[in-house]
């Protein structure tokens, strides 16, 4: 029931955002710097908000100090993660067109 997803982060971006999703690895831009785990903390906050899953359910299982990460999300399956990310991408695309 737990999802494990691949994520590629770009720290020190001008703004934080999840790039439009089509397939994994998920690409995320983070305003935070990678120092002292700030970027990892921001990544978890953004994913938690977008997926409607509590932050305590997220675990970085590989790549804690790398741009490429494997994240385990307890209580949700990969299919649900994909569905929610697609909905966010469609919503973002529709908002930017208006």
Q: Which two tokens stand for residue 8?
A: 């590629």
Taken in order of first residue, the domains within the chain and their CATH numbers are: 3-97 (3.30.1200.10)
For residue 25, what pLDDT band results from cuts at 50, 70 and 90? very high
- DSSP annotation string for 18-81: EPPPSSSSEEEE-SS-SGGGHHHHHHHHHHHHHHT--GGGEEEEE-TTSSEEEEEETT--HHHH
Q: For 16-34, what is the mean pLDDT?
A: 93
Residue 84 pLDDT greater than 80, yes or no = yes
* Tens-digit pLDDT profile for residues 28-50: 999 999 999 999 999 999 999 99
Q: For 76-96, what is the mean pLDDT?
A: 80
Residue 88 pLDDT greater than 80, yes or no = no
For residue 94, what pLDDT band results from cuts at 50, 70 and 90? low
């Amino acid at each position: 029931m737990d999802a494990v997803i691949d994520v590629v982060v770009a720290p020190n971006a001008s703004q934080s955002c999840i790039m439009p999703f089509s397939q994994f690895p998920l690409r995320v831009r983070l305003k935070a710097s990678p120092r002292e785990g700030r970027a990892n903390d921001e990544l978890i906050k953004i994913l938690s908000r977008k997926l409607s899953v509590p932050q305590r359910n997220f675990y970085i299982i590989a790549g804690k100090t790398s741009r490429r990460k494997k994240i385990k999300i307890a209580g949700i399956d990969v299919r649900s993660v994909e569905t929610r990310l697609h909905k966010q991408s469609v919503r973002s695309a529709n908002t930017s067109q208006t």
